Amino acid sequence: MTTHAAQLLVIFGVTGDLAQRMLLPSLYGLQRDGLLPAGLVVLGTGRTTLDGAAFAQLVREAIERRVPSNERDPVHIDALCARLNYQAAGLDHAEQLGALYERIRELRRGDVVFHLSTAPRWYSTICRALGQAGLSGTGTRVMLEKPIGHDLATAVEINTGVGQIFDEERIYRVDHYLGKEGVQNLLALRFGNALFEPLWNARHIAQVQITVAETVGVEGRGDYYDESGAMRDMVQNHLLQLLCLTAMEPPSDFDPAAVRNEKIKVLRSLRPIADDDIGSHSVAGQYTAGAIDGVAVPGYRDELGRASHTETFVALRAHIDNWRWSGVPFYLRTGKRMPRRATEIYLQFRAVPHSIFGGALIEPNALVIQLQPEERISLMLMSKTPGLDRSGLKFTQVALDLDLHETFETVRKRLAYERLYLDALEGNGTLFVRRDETEVAWQWVDGIFAGWKKAGVAPKSYPAGTWGPASAVGLIERNGFSWRE
């Protein structure tokens, strides 16, 4: 299938939160660096009635809020605004939709990308209507935001609905973590260096931890979040994608089929958490009032304004049943209102097989790949503590530290959507999620929900500003490990 750089980007839900925070600032970043296809036109649509000037104002304000002042340039902001158009349309309003599709036809010069940044329950409806309007044929692609459904059944429903109109190669399911520089760098570290690969397996690695900790609460998205919770909002997508990239076999090529074929093998090898193991392999938590960096913050229920049993923290012990990872626990952990923001992958190597230093404490080596807030790679090694050692050698753990933020200080940090937009506009699906990945991930997560239901698991409380409920510590210490904090 030949793809051409798209000439039209249609953003459904352009007045929404994601567009304001990420999408419009990303388009600005691309415009500023001259990376948008020359003739690209952007058509935004939302329920709100706005004329062209009011829409341009909204875009300017989004850029003002999100783009650092030293990167804002009126010439480029004007150039972006010159590409923008707006057409109001209620998705349940046939006449307005008709007018929108007419506008799309008028603006269309070549390939089109439709970016659906609406509630997922609209995805099938929008695609069906695009199909009926003759706007889903060759040269059209559709980008879908997460969450794809609420569970396996709803994901299948959405994927089937969208799949009746667009074939799989033209569906771009977004997981914005895949667009992050640090995540790309994880691939570079693994497959651009020969050093680690021989050690990257159960023979040499004792345990892996993947942490995505946030300090924020629900940020005014209470209605969405309360329906979703940490498992659906973060584990089903971002954490499992990080797990795939950490654990997958080397793909033969950096192309959509090769990479996604390796990721799906990891997801298919994830051992379902059996009902009997649910208590020892999973923890759900919900934050109560506490403090972060010395600032008092309310509890989840207070933020939400009602009682709730939704989990804002999840910790899991996962196993990948294949040759490479047999017996290695993968601990996954994510939560809101944690003490600090950190996205990190931690691989602990096995201990030295025999110590020649008597009783000296020798900690195992570890590799820490920090993706956020700054990119950093640290290799933890044991070094002799300076001294004359009359009563035996002592060791200190030291870090071979690579501060990528400092190394590439002069290079602008890009938003994930800059890369994702460019890829979708150019028709490269490598960093997007394939149907089978979303569905197999849901299946695994649904199994945990079923186990929780059967065992009557309710989230345990943890004060905001801590690393989750005490039972999260038990989950890992039971195996003789501890969380990296």
Query: What residue number has its CB nearest to ligand BG6?
Result: 233
Min separation Cβ 86 and ligand BG6, Å: 25
Q: In the complex with ligand BG6, which residue's Cβ is closer, 159 or 343?
A: 343
Residue 233 in contact with ligand BG6, rule: CB under 6 A: yes
Residue 418 in contact with ligand BG6, rule: CB under 6 A: no
Binders of ligand BG6 among 339-358, rule CB under 6 A? Answer: none
Residue 375 in contact with ligand BG6, rule: CB under 6 A: no
Q: In the complex with ligand BG6, which residue's Cβ is closer, 214 or 375?
A: 214
Q: Total residues contacting ligand BG6 (rule CB under 6 A)? A: 3
Q: In the complex with ligand BG6, which residue's Cβ is closer, 235 or 283?
A: 235
Out of 238, 281, 319, 354, which one is annotated catalytic?
A: 238
- 115 catalytic? Reply is no
Min separation Cβ 228 and ligand BG6, Å: 8
Min separation Cβ 124 and ligand BG6, Å: 21
Q: In the complex with ligand BG6, which residue's Cβ is closer, 285 or 329?
A: 285
Dihedral sign from CA coordinates of 423, 428, 430, 432: positive
Residue 214 in contact with ligand BG6, rule: CB under 6 A: yes
Q: In the complex with ligand BG6, which residue's Cβ is closer, 179 or 447?
A: 179
Q: In the complex with ligand BG6, which residue's Cβ is closer, 8 or 464?
A: 464
Min separation Cβ 78 and ligand BG6, Å: 29
Min separation Cβ 417 and ligand BG6, Å: 10
Min separation Cβ 234 and ligand BG6, Å: 6
Residue 145 in contact with ligand BG6, rule: CB under 6 A: no
Would you please indicate which residues are annotated as catalytic (active-site) residues?
A: 238
> Residue numbers of the site for ligand BG6 (CB under 6 A)?
214, 233, 372
